[in-house]
Amino acid sequence: MVEIRRTPENRRRQIADRFAEQVARKEALRRRGIRHKGETVWFGLGMFGIVGWAVAIPTLIGIALGLWIDRTWPSQYSWALMFLVAGVIVGCLNAAYWVKKVRSKIIEDDEDDEIQS
């Protein structure tokens, strides 16, 4: 006859706790999906666009300003290249600001949902 071994009580408790955590994570994900139901793929692409333009506009302004300075006051240094680099740096800082702002809003919404649960 085959002997059936029972798992220890603490092991069963760990399995039950892990299962409860998985269920809670999936429920939170489901609630988040319901809350953001109106946000489609276009919303995500729009966010890429915002970040892209946040970098592109300062870069183009820097190039234009640098070309204008190069034509107006010629020198041995390329102001267009210097302002190109400055524009990219300003653009990246600008993009990081927007991403941080949206990320903090998402985290704040998630915390509000956890409090309401």
pLDDT on residue 29: 79
Angle subtended by helix axes 79-116 and 9-35, to nearest 10: 120
**pTM metric for this prediction:** 0.61
Quick count: other Cβ atoms within 10 Å of Cβ 39? 12
Mean pLDDT by 10 residues, the chain (117 residues): 71 88 86 71 76 92 96 93 96 91 80 64
Residues 6+ apart with CB under 8 A from 78: 66, 70
- Using DSSP's 3-state secondary structure scheme, residue 26 falls into helix
Tokens of 35: 């809350």
